[in-house]
Structure 1
Amino acid sequence: MSYFRRVSAHSYRATAHTGGAWNTAEQHIAPSFGLLAHAIETDRDTRGQGHLVIGRLGYDILGTVPVDVDVDIEVRVLRLGRTIELVEATLAHRGRAVVLARAWLMQAYDTAALRGSTLPPIPPPQQLADWDPSAVWPGGFIASAQVRRAEVEPGRAAYWVRTALPLLDCEPVSPLARAAGLLDIANGMTVRADPQAVAFPNLDLTAHFFAAPTGEWLGFDTAVSFGPAGIGLTHSIIHDQTGPIGAVSQALTVRPSAP
């Protein structure tokens, strides 16, 4: 069992475990984010640029895609360099672009002596209670996630997420690609409003990493904000069990249901 199975060099078949939360007949976009990160890293390594690490991943969601279909990924280098590269990847279904991803790749340097952050840590997963996100959301992807959460109030929570499912069947992926496949869960883990009454899907996701993720758990310190004109923001500081490692932001379109 996995989220995707490879069909060819650039094509993948989504499984039922990618089932979405807003519409179970459509894919939750989170696993596709991980798949795109894996494709970018694979292209990088194939080109002999394995000394570069991903510092930023930016995704724009251009449409929806059904579950249990094939998707294709094309990777392009927009800025080639020895120490800095900008790489773009497109995930498409039947020739229609669904997700556009851009990644900044940077030369790794030894800055261990300088490591530090003023971002506050969150409690480790063993100190938080199990929480079942399927009580709020349907879909195969949400059902595949294990969550431990401490909610302060609706729209504000600290939580840890992991999954027992591999991103790809019988194919290893990096810890960063695996983490990227979980990032988009953030918008649904501490809701400000009942999703039966208010729709608030995200249009994008931007992740910045100042350290590579390690371990099976990915932590989030999340705040959700709704503005007065139908625009919202889900912002999270992301953690592994060493502490904060980066940040994720998602732009929301907030749509109250008609009475």
Structure 2
Amino acid sequence: MELLGPVPVATLTLSASVLRPGRSVQLVGAELHDVEAGRTVARAHAWVFPVSTSGPGQPTPLAHSPEDGETRPRPEGWHGGYLDAVEWRWIKGSVEEAGPGIVWMRPPRLVEGEETSPVQRLLACVDSASGASAALDVREWGFLNTELSVHLLRPPVGEWVCLDAETTLSTGSVGVATSAAYDGLGLVARSAQALLVVPR
């Protein structure tokens, strides 16, 4: 997924299409448009594989669960919004501790009156990889992610997603946040985000 600009709280339209049909795999795409500004704000592409449960690999559940995590207060001076809307259960680290983090997350319903699917929950969570593993003090540094790549191993299940996330920085303004994402059955996806790292 590529973020082409800020996504406003306004009227948006979504278009989707099959870009490459196929019997074994197909490529699908979608674009999110800001109606008032007349521009595309996000674009996504996905390769769709057949769903099967007969593959050689089987997931292994993690040794911990959301019940084992800690709820930590939002750091003083931070805005609420997303941080307050999501349930966080920290196994390692926190949003104000620099370094890798492991956290169980349960995002809220995204659209009033509509159930949030497990895939939607997963994608909302993996977008938090840089925040869950910030390598610098976020009060002094900003991490702008311009894209998000997610590789799903199987359909996710349940309401909780665990991120094992890490941010890697270079000597310039480029970084990358990666995560292994788990559900109650075990590893379900891996993600990577390109980051523009700038002082505030």
Go from structure 1 to structure 2 and tell me whether the alpha carbon gap of 1:201 and 1:137 turns closer, same or farther (over 3 Å shift). farther
Alignment-derived partner of residue 29 in structure 2? 88
Letter of the structure 1 residue corresponding to residue 102 of structure 2: A
**Aligned sequence identity (%):** 29
Equivalent residue for 1:176, pick from 119, 123, 140: 119
For residue 181 of structure 1, give the secondary structure of its aligned residue in structure 2: helix
For the residues of structure 2 that align with 1:123 and 1:63, how far apart are their CA atoms? 37
Q: TM-score, normalised by structure 1?
A: 0.69
The residue aligned with 1:160 is: 104
Structure 1 residue 65, shift from structure 2 partner: 2.5
Describe the shift of the 1:226–1:133 C-alpha distance in structure 2 as closer, same or farther (beyond 3 A).
Answer: farther
Stretches (4+) displaced over 6 A: none
Counting only pairs closer than 5 Å after superposition, residues 62-81 of structure 1 correspond to structure 2 as 62-67=4-9, 69-81=10-22
Match of 1:143 among 84, 95, 104: 84
Extract unaligned runs of 5+ from structure 1: 1-58
More helix by share: 1
The one-letter code matched in structure 2 to 1:62 is: L
Pick from 169, 183, 191 the counterpart of residue 240 of structure 1. 183
User: Where do 5+ consecutive residues of structure 2 fail to align?
Assistant: none
Q: Which structure is richer in relative contact order (CA contacts within 8 A, separation 6 or more)?
A: 1
What is the TM-score of this pair, normalised by structure 2?
Answer: 0.88
Deviation at 1:200, TM superposition (A): 1.1
Kindly provide the amino acid, as one letter, of the partner of residue 254 in structure 1.
V
User: Contact (CA 8 Å) 1:205, 1:249: kept in 2 or not?
Assistant: yes
Q: Which among 167, 172, 185 is matched to residue 229 of structure 1?
A: 172
The alpha-carbon distance between structure 1 residues 145 and 121, as it changes in their structure 2 partners (threshold 3 A), is same
Query: Aligned partners of 2:178, 2:11: CA distance in 1, in Å?
Result: 31
CA contact (8 A) 1:122 1:158 kept: no
Instruction: Write the deviation string for residues 174-225 of structure 1: whole angstroms up to 9, x where unpaired.
Output: 3212322332122212322122211111111111111211111100001111
Aligned AA for 2:144? P
The residue that corresponds to 1:61 in the other structure is: 3
Aligned letter for 2:23? R
| Cross-structure match for 2:143 | 200
Matching residue's letter, 1:250: Q
Distance 2:74 2:32 in 1: 27
| Stretch of structure 1 that moved more, 187-196 or 209-218 | 187-196
CA contact (8 A) 2:182 2:189 kept: yes
